Structures are given as structure tokens and as C-alpha cells.
Structure 1
């Protein structure tokens, strides 16, 4: 029997935009490594596959009312690696504003430090703040970002394969540290990232980090079908998650890859209470702490700066109130999901912003531990997910409840591990180690 995979997505003091104000959220500064390390240790005790740290390459304009800044993820995970022993460690890094040689070195180093527990969340950065911080005026267009990403993947894969597994001899008596015939240049001459190589460190325990990806536009899905080994995706209901799951698995197979070697993990943000009433009360508390104008501003950012200021908070929305997502150069897949929700449910702007406040367009639900376990089992067994990207609305409180109340139910049903079977992220995800493409 296959078992579901669970990743903990650590962000701010929880994924609800008002989590930082809730009395049960952590009081540690987001720049205190103890905060991240302690959450990782909790997730490891709960036998999660991995933790994930996102990244933002600029300061959001709503910093006055929203804490959306934290430690740089690669640096943070190096520290977390020393505070944990089994759990996988996934960090975001951009192909748009990073040099491939540096990224390859950093992730290879992390994989060595953690003894094979690292994953790379591959993003093609869309935020307008980022471009101005890296010498560009405005945003890099959607198509151009993915064109750059394809070349980037060619380069980093080549660098991670530039050392054969047995290149290091460490022969003290014979005086040979490495077999130079098993270390090669890659001599890549592309338009964006010409790189000679080789990488200046041996191949890492997993061969290369696990490739994680989160774009769900048509271009993003094609990219995932070629490269991803795990996919984080956002859905507001099971029906769209099932359709995405079937579509992407088909695209993976069409690329000649094994669909079982690519996990699909929808974002899931449950509010857990001992009863339905208690969970709903918790949700109301969070929404009462939210500022709808912060939500309006974030919605504008998602739609590339579109002005929503003239929309009344309590008037039902229509698709005509939104720009065409297919022309959006920012977060295309998320805007498509928002417009589809508006077409389906006709919420007011206040209702839409409350829904997005919970987890930015990921699936949210409030309920008892049994309800949460039932829902996860249904999605997992009905072809909507290989597991979940868990996004607790308040940290650490809702994570603690999930581990103590929901995990045992999943284990009792045979849906989740009771012990780690391996020591690497690839072993947790049941992924094969890539053969070195050398020579």
C-alpha cells in the first residue's frame, strides 16, 4: 500500500496573514534560527518527509502590517541541518536572479552537510520588487523567465554531474586525491549563462538535490513534466486538484518519465479544533485580526499591480472585475485559480480576501482531527494528491495539533509512516538516485 507524503511549509508565524497577531503564534523573532530549527525538529518527530522554506527577493510594500521577511533559506537550512538528522530540507532559489554556478555549489554543499537531505524548489521569480534589486527595470516576462530556466537546468545538471561518483580517491599513500579523468568541464555556451565548469566539489550524496517546482500554468506544467520530482500546487477544491493531477501525470509520461517518480503535493491549510465549533471559532478569530486592505494590496500584486481600489468590499464579484490571467506576467497559475473561484462562487471582495488570507489561494478547511484526516484520505485515495504541502495557519500551535491529533489517525489507517525507513530526502519520497551522466 502506498503512503502519503507530508511536507511542512514554514512561513512567517503561520500561513494565515493575521497569524503573527494571534496569541498562540510564536513570539520568537523570524530572524531567530531557533524558530525554524524548533519547527523542523517538531516535524521530524512527527515523521514528516521534509520542511520547506520559501524566499522573496525584495521587501513587500505592506511590511508595516505584515511580517513577510525572514532568514535567507539556504543559509537557514545549513543551520537546521545540524539540528536535525532525518527530515528533508527544501529551499527556494530563483533561476531568474541567481547564477547557476553559485546555486550548484550551495546546494551541493547543503547536500553534503545534511548527508543527503536537500531539495531545491525551482522558481522563476515574478515579483516586481526583485527586478529592481538585481539590476533590471520592471519584471522579466513569463515566457522569458521559463526560457532562462530551461538553460539554467541544463547548466546545473551538468555541474552536478561534472564529478563521477568515484572520482575522489583520497589515496594518501599513493599521493592521489582524485582521478582527474573523472572530473570534467561542461563548457556550456548558452545565451544567458555560459559556464565552463567543472563544479569545485565532489558529487553529493543524492547526486543532486531533489527538484521541486510550483508553477501550474501551462508553461509551468511543461517545465515540471521535464524536470520536477515533487510539485507544490495550489487548489481551492478537490475537483481542480484531481484534474491537475491527471493532466500533469499524463504530461510526465509523455516526456518518457515514470509518473511515480514525480510527487504532486497540493497546499493544505487546516484549522484544527477538538470540535467543528471550536475550529470555526478559531477561523473567525483569525479573520477578525485580518486587514482587508492588506489583502486587497496582495491581490493587486498577484495581478501585476492591477488596481482593485474601486471595488466595494461587500458587492459580489464577477470575472469582468479581473484582468485576463493569460496576459499576466506575474503569478499566472494563482491568478487563474482566483478568477475560476470568482466565476464559480461569485463571492464578495471581502469573502474572497478572507479566503485568500488563509493560505494565498491554497485549500483551507476548519474542522476536527477526524474531519481533517478524512479529507486527506479522500484526496489521496481519489487521485488528487500523492501527499500534502502542509501550511499550518498558526505556528507552532496548529502544527502541534496536527502532529498530536491528525498524524496518529493517518498512521492507524495505514496511510502514513510510523518510522523513517531511509536517511535521505530521496528515500523519504521513494525517488531513485539519478545516475551520473558522465563522459
Structure 2
């Protein structure tokens, strides 16, 4: 029997120039204004999506790579997604909004108070995509940059501290008795005195407790340490893995094992695999797109190299396409997952041209070689994932209305007719909708 799955949208460009580099830019939306994001948020809510995750990178990178990131708007500019969230809440009633936050950028007490405020203002629809980007550290303090695992250690201390502040109002602390004129009972508030390796602060928090759950914690990261963080702390894991049965089951087992090791249940979090489909009107159109991608010219490879250069903060366009890629050129702060996505299973000895060509080539959904296909073919894939126990998927793209409608117009009716995509949200905020099935 077909089982419903959770759907989210990963706003891959973040709060940045939506539509840049595409003809749809001539719709003349202003990406610095809220209207384009509000229109997209209403579309996702109407479509039955649970949440939108807004990517972010607070840094433009090292001085040597800034031009790589801004020239084609791949890595910047980006405005603060936390400040965009209230506009999306105002435009919707049920959609969860999940801005990306970096523990290096927010002191725990300030973070706990701001996030608590947004959780109440939104009707308990806030989520937090916690990232451990260490390359941005120099913008926030003079402290030495942390390594990969140490940054996760700091994130765990940060999140644990924030949760202790959220929970500093004990049961019965909020009284609200108009007859006795007692608003709160201060004896039931915890002082919270945190003295850790990275943070020191005191409580209690000057914000009232939640009625429908804390903000949902989302995390990316495919390293062992990243998966461990997700298992111990997250409500949603943004997953990147090959979508074959063995890989999906193995990935889910790692997350579930980490959750159980942390004293949680496997049911305490949802694992959503990120997919960027190209939905076509016909099988013939899908075949044409795949055939056209089989032999990319150098101009197409350069465009892909530019995007990868931004993500990896390393100028791939300056390298010889015919020589093997030396992974030592990437800084310690560069995500191992990003490097692995560039190299794939081709090995480090393969020439750069081979890696870029592989990224340029599209594949068909029908034979599971890629993500180009009709709405029905994509629905077949989602049903198959459901048979393997999958919780849901994150579709991937910018927030331009053309992007959303090109992806969703034919897909949503097919998914709903098959019982995969919800028609109605439940009351109670983001956590309630994540727990609905």
C-alpha cells in the first residue's frame, strides 16, 4: 500500500539572487524584497509541503576566492535568512520555515531568546538548520578556526545550552491566574549556570515556554561525526546518498543507530533525501534532455567548474582539465561531502575533465540513472523509496516562481492521486506535522 511521505524544499541559493543566470530573471522580481519568497512559500503550502529549508553561508569565503563566489552569484551575496523567516510566516499558516544558523554566529542566550520569539510568533513553525561551517569563524571572533569534529563538539554544546534555557521554565512556572493576579511563579524557574569549553552563560531565559514543542532541529552532514550529531540532536536529517535500496537502507540505519546510542528512538527524527528532479511533459522530452547532456562542450564544463569552485572555495577553472585532481588543494574547512560529490566513485586519479563531465551528464528517472523524467516516473521513484521505509524527500532549487511551477505543476496532482503527498496539514506547528505520519 502506498504510504504518505514528507516533502520539503531546500532553497539552495539561500536569501540570494533568485533566478540569476536564467531567462526567468526577466520576470523582474526583486530578490532583496520579501514578495518573491512569500509567493513561493504560499505555493509550497498549497502543494502540501511540510517545510522549506533556507541555505546560508555568512561568509563570502577567503580573500583569494571571493570573486569565485560573487561573479556568477553562486556563493553570494546572501542576506540573513533568519530575518526573512517572519515574512514567510506572515504569508502562510502551516508551512515550517527553517533558516540556516551557525553556532559561531550566535551566543547561546541571544540565540535561545531570538529563536523562542520566532517560535511563538509563527505558531510553533520554526526550524533551525544547524551547520558547522568553520570557514566563517573569522567574521565572529579572533579565536582560532576549529577543525571539522571540534566544530560539531561546539555545536552540540551550543544546542544543549539553548535547550537548557528553553526548558528553564519548569512545569507550573507560567501561571496566568487573573483572579490572583499571578502571572508566573519565579520559584519554578531554573537559574541555568553553564560553564563549558566554548560558552559561558547564565539563565533563566526571559521568554515564556512553548505550548507546541521546541523549534525543529535540522542538520546536514554525511560524515561519521555529522551523522552522530543528527542521531543525537536532530528532528530532521537532510540526507545525500545514492537512491538505491542498499544505500538508502544503510544510510538510514546509521542515523537510527546513532539515535538509539544517544538514548533516543529511531522514530524521533525524519530522514529526507535531497533530490533535484527535472520534470518533463513526456518521455520523449526526457530522452532528448539526457541525450543532449551526454557530450558536454568545454563551455558547459567551465560553467560547472565555476559552481564547484564557489562551493569548494577553490578555483577549478585555473586547473588543467586533462590532469588528475589533487584533493590536497582543498582547505581543511572544505566539506568532505562536497569534495566527495565532485569526485564520486571515479577516484582521485581521474582527470578533472572526467569529474566535470560526469556532473554535466543527466540520467533518466525511469532506469534510476538520474532525475530527468515525467511526473509519473518521479512518483514511481518516491513510491519505491517508501517501500524501503523512507520518510520523505527534499526537492532542491531556488525560489523563483518559474522554478517551483516547472517542478510542481504536474508533479503535485500525480503524488496526491497516489496518496504520497498530503492534502491537509494538521494544527500544532511544524513538529505536529512531522509527527503526523
Shared fold by TM > 0.5? yes
Q: Output the CA distance in 1 between the equivalents of 2:181 and 2:40.
A: 45
Gaps of 5+ in 2: 363-368
Structure 2 length-normalised TM: 0.84
SS in 2 for 1:250: helix
Counterparts in 2 of 1:377 and 1:136: CA distance versus 1, 3 Å: farther
SS in 1 for 2:169: coil
1:75 aligns with 2:83: yes
The residue number in structure 2 matching 1:12 is: 13
The residue number in structure 1 matching 2:274 is: 267
Counterparts in 2 of 1:89 and 1:290: CA distance versus 1, 3 Å: farther
Gaps of 5+ in 1: 357-362, 433-439
Q: Output the CA distance in 2 between the equivalents of 1:377 and 1:323.
A: 41
Q: Output the CA distance in 2 between the equivalents of 1:289 and 1:70.
A: 29
Counterparts in 2 of 1:306 and 1:219: CA distance versus 1, 3 Å: farther
Q: Output the CA distance in 2 between the equivalents of 1:70 and 1:303.
A: 17
Q: Output the CA distance in 2 between the equivalents of 1:402 and 1:80.
A: 20
The residue number in structure 2 matching 1:278 is: 285
Once the two structures are TM-superposed, the CA of residue 417 in structure 1 deviates from its matched residue by 1.4
1:51 aligns with 2:56: no
- How many residues are matched? 416
The residue number in structure 2 matching 1:251 is: 258
Moved more, 336-345 or 364-373: 336-345
The residue number in structure 2 matching 1:336 is: 340
Q: Root-mean-square deviation (CA), in Å?
A: 3.3
The residue number in structure 1 matching 2:396 is: 391
SS in 2 for 1:188: strand
Q: Output the CA distance in 2 between the equivalents of 1:113 and 1:332.
A: 37
Moved more, 181-190 or 25-34: 25-34
**Equivalent of 1:170 in 173, 176, 180:** 176
Once the two structures are TM-superposed, the CA of residue 202 in structure 1 deviates from its matched residue by 0.5
Q: Output the CA distance in 2 between the equivalents of 1:216 and 1:259.
A: 17
Once the two structures are TM-superposed, the CA of residue 27 in structure 1 deviates from its matched residue by 3.2
Once the two structures are TM-superposed, the CA of residue 249 in structure 1 deviates from its matched residue by 1.8
Once the two structures are TM-superposed, the CA of residue 225 in structure 1 deviates from its matched residue by 1.1
The residue number in structure 1 matching 2:29 is: 28
Q: Encode CA deviations 1:410-435: one digit per residue, 9 max, x unaligned.
A: 22222221212334111111079xxx
Moved more, 173-182 or 210-219: 173-182
SS in 2 for 1:177: strand
Q: Encode CA deviations 1:68-114: one digit per residue, 9 max, x unaligned.
A: 33431111111211111111111111112321111111111111001
The residue number in structure 2 matching 1:150 is: 156
Q: Output the CA distance in 2 between the equivalents of 1:393 and 1:280.
A: 25
Once the two structures are TM-superposed, the CA of residue 120 in structure 1 deviates from its matched residue by 0.9
Q: Output the CA distance in 2 between the equivalents of 1:143 and 1:13.
A: 25
Q: Output the CA distance in 2 between the equivalents of 1:236 and 1:187.
A: 44
Q: Output the CA distance in 2 between the equivalents of 1:416 and 1:156.
A: 33
Q: Encode CA deviations 1:350-407: one digit per residue, 9 max, x unaligned.
A: 3145369xxxxxx961111111111222223224x31111113673224224433112
The residue number in structure 2 matching 1:360 is: none
Once the two structures are TM-superposed, the CA of residue 299 in structure 1 deviates from its matched residue by 3.4
**Equivalent of 1:202 in 190, 197, 208:** 208
Counterparts in 2 of 1:420 and 1:246: CA distance versus 1, 3 Å: same
Contact in 2 for aligned 1:268/1:364 (Cα 8 Å): no
Which residues in structure 2 correspond to 1:5-404 (within 5 Å)?
A: 5-12=6-13, 19-24=19-24, 27-59=28-60, 61=66, 62-66=69-73, 68-126=76-134, 128=135, 130-136=136-142, 139-164=145-170, 166-238=172-244, 239-279=246-286, 292-293=301-302, 295-300=304-309, 302-303=311-312, 305=314, 309-312=318-321, 315=322, 321-323=326-328, 328-343=332-347, 348-354=354-360, 365-383=371-389, 385-392=390-397, 395-404=400-409
Q: Output the CA distance in 2 between the equivalents of 1:19 and 1:240.
A: 33
SS in 1 for 2:371: strand
